[in-house]
Structure formats: structure tokens, C-alpha cells
Amino acid sequence: MTQTTSGKADMKLFWACFIALVATSFVFGVRANTIGELQNSFNLSESQKGAINGAGMWPFALSIIFFSLIIDRIGYKTVALFAAGCHVVSLVLTLRASGYEDFYWSSLLVAVANGTVESFINPVVATIFSKNKSKWLNILHAGWPAGLALGALFCALLPETKLFFNAVWQFRFALCFIPVVLYTLLILPRTFPVNERVAAGVSYRDMLKEVGAVGSFIIGSLVYCAVMQMIGYEASLRDSLIAGLVLGAATGFYTHSLGNWLFIVVLITIGPLATTELGTDGWMPELLKLSGPDFPNFATWIFVYVSVIMTVLRFYAGPIVHRFSPIGLLVISGAIAITGLIFLSHATGWVILAAATVYALGKTFLWSTTLGLTAEQFPKGGALTLNGVSAVGVLFLGVLGSPYIGHKQDLDMADRLSATEHSALYSQIKGDPKAGIFGNAPTLNQEKIKALPAPQHQELESVQAASKRSVFTTIAILPSFMLACYLGMFFWFKARGGYKPVVISEGDASPAH
């Protein structure tokens, strides 16, 4: 099935993939805007919130890697229906949850479903629009902010609704069935194309060569950490490196390749990118809710606003990518993202609206354009390189990024409240330390906070607002590193005559002219 011979069928399949991605981010948006209520209802620490957010991320990577290795053998439709099944089961478990452990495991399962969705939609769209991958992958990934906006919008418009349920959070998660059922119905009648790599006759070994020993080392180290977390153990750095070395050595022995060096650079940047975009998305409503103006659900509306900007811009990405090239667009986006995050760390009141606008403009094209660059530069890697980039990004975020954001909040809050002027308040609300991947973290007792008189509650909120804003400055370090890498790639492409996509035919790759 090609774009030229069956355009109508291609577009139906494209929209099925688009709605599937909307479903994944709809769940993400609901959780991001409900995690505060879950904290109050179940006395969760900031670190536990971070762990829940992390569990909603890194299993995504395990499923996307697994299915990327076998999807061409078992079929894309089989994988799509498996994703739908996982979504349904995870939502049922969420609605029956009664505490931290339940939310943790239901978040983990929904992440498996989300990763499975990603494993089929990216290579399918890159195949059916093989002549314009960056444009259509950007349009496809407009589905991510669209789902975020819809999920957050439901939370803002129905803040106290608990129709048919005992709690507001249950009603919100029940709404997630709507996009899940919709994409399932759209997928059922569709026929999926043969992947570009398979059609060109590129061997499985040549596909693995693009990742090579170094890429496998990175993936293996992060996967080991994720698996250890899944079974309840904290992985040491030494053990993680050993696991990575074993997988890297095995891949190197089989492929006789260290990996495409440009692909390795992309892998190195995608973890900070994922934390910059997805990590900030997951925490934004909580980080901003105490710093905004006196306006109902202000932080949620900012979340919706940023997501709408991203959705619109990604739909019109074609001319922008054509004007700047994928690598040029990444350089520009990285610089703007740094500015936006620093702006957010100092913004209060309605100024947050301006800061959020800059941040949205910066992050809009980072993820989707990285996928476009990967699809255009490493077509021999097929589903593995395209999905492997997403997997490493989400692994980094789930294993390290999101838990670290929560850990830093716990430490920063403890430092601020330990100051002389707040020490009396801190002694009243201090909770028991709770363990996490970065060690024990101080906590606040949510039940004691609820019992505070109004003046002390206002004092606490003032400290919390400053603490939460400071997180944006910490996150800004990540796009600074990314920008340095993007500039290096930009000048490398420029020295070779400019950015050019790569085309493949019968197992070979050559620059397109």
C-alpha cells in the first residue's frame, strides 16, 4: 500500500494511528491533572507521585523495544489490538485502585499499552509517507498534545463531577475509555503496509547494525534499571553498566558494528529531551498551581493552552521543516525551550501565560522532529531505530528523569522549610522519610497539612510555590545539553553539503538528491 496508489486507504490508516496516539496522551493528561487529588486522597509523597509518573513512562520503552524487534514477523494489526486490550485492562484496574501500589501497577500497565501503540504508529506512518517523513511524523504527533489538551480540558470543565462513581478521579479515568474504544474500532477494518525496510530487502542483521554495540549498551543499561524497578529492586550503577556491556557485546559480535555514530548522538539527546517535554508536561499543573493568579483551575488551563499551541503548530509543520530542515529546527527549538523554562521559573500571576507561550514554542517540534530525522537518516534501521529513539527517551525519563524531579522537590521543600523562619511550621507537618531510586527523601504529612490553620497554610503555600517554580531552572540544564549536540550535528551536515534524507533500495542506502 503506497501513498500514490491508495491515498484514501492511507489516510484512513493515518487517522486510526492518530486517534491511537490521542488515546495514549489523553490518559497522560488526565493523570497529570489528577495526581494532586490522588496525593490528598491517599497521602502520597512527592517521591511517590514521581514514582507513579515514572511507572507511567518506562514500561512504555520495554514494550516498544520488544515489539520493534518482532513486529515485522507477527504483524502490525496484531500489535495494535494487543495495545487496545492493555488499555482496557489498565483502566479497569485504575478504577478499582485503593492506594499507592494499585496506582503504580495500573500506571505501569497503561504505559505498556502506550508503548505498544507507539511501536506500530511510527513505522506505519514513515512507510506510507516515505517521501515526506518529517512532515507526516510531525502531523501524527500532533495527536499527543491534542490528547493532553482534551484530557486536561475534561478535568477543568468537570472539576467536581463523579457521575456513576464514588470519587472525582474515578470519573476522570473512566472518560479515558472513549478514545480507547474509538481507536480500536478504527483499527479493526484497516490493512497495514509492509515496512519500508522489509520491502527494500534490508536484512534483520543490517537493521541491528544501525543500533550496534554502543546503542545496545545504552538501551541495555536503561532496560536493566527499568526491569529491576518493575520487580521491586533498586539497580546499582555497576550492575546496570554490566548489563549494558553484555547486551552491547552480544550485539557487536552479531553485527560487527559499533552502531551508526549519528544515531548514537540522537540516542544521547533523547533522554534529556523526553524529560524536558514529557517530564515537564507531567508535572506542570502541580508546579504552577500555587504561582498563578486567582483564577479557577489556572494551571490546568495553562496545560491546555500549551497543548493546543503544540497541536496547531505540528499540523502545519510541513512548511516549517522545509524552511529550516529537521536539524535546523531542532537547534532553534532547543534555544527557545531553554528560554521558556527559565522564564517559567521566575514567572508568577498572569506573566505565566507569556512564559508558557515561549516554552510551548520551544518544545513543540523537539520530539516529533527527532523522529522525523531518525526516519530520514536511518531507514535501514526500520521500526527498531525509529522506535528505539522513543524507547530510550522514555526509559531515561521513567527511570531517572521523573523520579528525580520529584526527589528534587522533596529535598528543596525540606531545605526551605528548615530555614529559621519556617522551622516551627516544618516541625508540625514533617513526615517520615520515604525511599526512592535516589535514596531516602524527606516528606510532608498530607493529613497534618489539612489540619493547619489558615495563616500557616498560606505560609506553606508560599514556600511550595517558590520551590515548585525552581524545578523549571533545574530542567533547563537538559535542553542546554541538547542544544550543544544539535549544533554539532548541524555543522556536520553543513560540512557535507547540507541536510539530505537517506533512501534505501535492496539492502543498500545512499543519499537522496
Q: What is the pTM of this model?
A: 0.82
CATH number at residue 23: 1.20.1250.20
Q: What is the pLDDT of residue 6?
A: 52
The C-alpha torsion from 19 through 52 and 387 to 482, rounded to 10°, is 110
Distance CA 385, CA 216 (A): 11
Q: What is the pLDDT of residue 509?
A: 42
Q: What is the pLDDT of residue 507?
A: 43
Residues with Cβ within 8 Å of residue 507, at least 6 apart in sequence: 200, 201, 202, 203, 206, 380
SS3 509: strand
Length of the chain: 513
Distance CA 412, CA 397 (A): 20
SS3 444: strand
Note the Cα 439 to chain centre separation in Å.
24
Q: What is the pLDDT of residue 511?
A: 39
Has residue 428 been placed in a domain? no
Question: Tell me: the pLDDT tens digits for 95-106?
Answer: 887 778 888 888
What type of residue sits at position 402?
A: S
Q: Is 266 or 283 the better-scoring residue by pLDDT?
A: 266
DSSP state for residue 195 in the 8-state scheme: P
Cβ neighbours, 10 Å, residue 473: 13
Question: Tell me: the pLDDT tens digits for 333-356?
Answer: 999 999 999 998 888 888 888 988
Distance CA 487, CA 183 (A): 39
Per-residue pLDDT band for 46 (boundaries 50, 70, 90) equals: low
Geometric angle at alpha carbon 430, from 424 and 432, rounded to 5°:
155
Distance CA 283, CA 287 (A): 6
Q: What is the pLDDT of residue 404?
A: 77
Nearest alpha-carbon partner for 63 in 30, 87, 94, 47: 87
Residue 466 has pLDDT above 60, yes or no: yes
Q: What is the pLDDT of residue 294?
A: 79
Where helices occur in 96-202 by DSSP H, the ranges are: 100-128, 133-140, 143-157, 168-174, 177-187, 196-199
Note the Cα 429 to chain centre separation in Å.
33
Q: What is the pLDDT of residue 1?
A: 40
Nearest alpha-carbon partner for 287 in 370, 406, 443: 406
Has residue 2 been placed in a domain? no
Residues with Cβ within 8 Å of residue 318, at least 6 apart in sequence: 132, 135, 138, 139
Has residue 83 been placed in a domain? yes
Per-residue pLDDT band for 287 (boundaries 50, 70, 90) equals: low
Average pLDDT of the chain?
A: 85
Distance CA 245, CA 72 (A): 27
DSSP 232-250: T-PPPHHHHHHHHHHHHHH
Has residue 439 been placed in a domain? no
Has residue 430 been placed in a domain? no
Q: What is the pLDDT of residue 309?
A: 93
pLDDT, mean of residues 416-443: 78
Distance CA 90, CA 107 (A): 7
45, 410 contact by CB (below 8 A)? yes
Which grid coordinates belong to 123?
513505522
Has residue 438 been placed in a domain? no
pLDDT, mean of residues 123-152: 90
356, 152 contact by CB (below 8 A)? no
Q: Kindly tell me the sign of the dihedral angle through the C-alpha atoms of 226, 363, 29, 83.
A: negative
Has residue 304 been placed in a domain? yes
Q: What is the pLDDT of residue 285?
A: 65
Domain that holds residue 313: 7-423+452-511
444 dihedral zone (left: phi>0; alpha: psi -120 to 50; beta): beta
Least confident of 24-38, 132-146, 325-339, 490-504: 24-38
Residue 4 has pLDDT above 50, yes or no: no
Cβ neighbours, 10 Å, residue 233: 11
Q: How many domains does the chain have?
A: 1
SS3 492: helix
Has residue 435 been placed in a domain? no
Nearest alpha-carbon partner for 305 in 355, 371, 346: 355
Nearest alpha-carbon partner for 190 in 90, 249, 120, 243: 120
**Bridge partners (DSSP) listed for residue 444:** 430
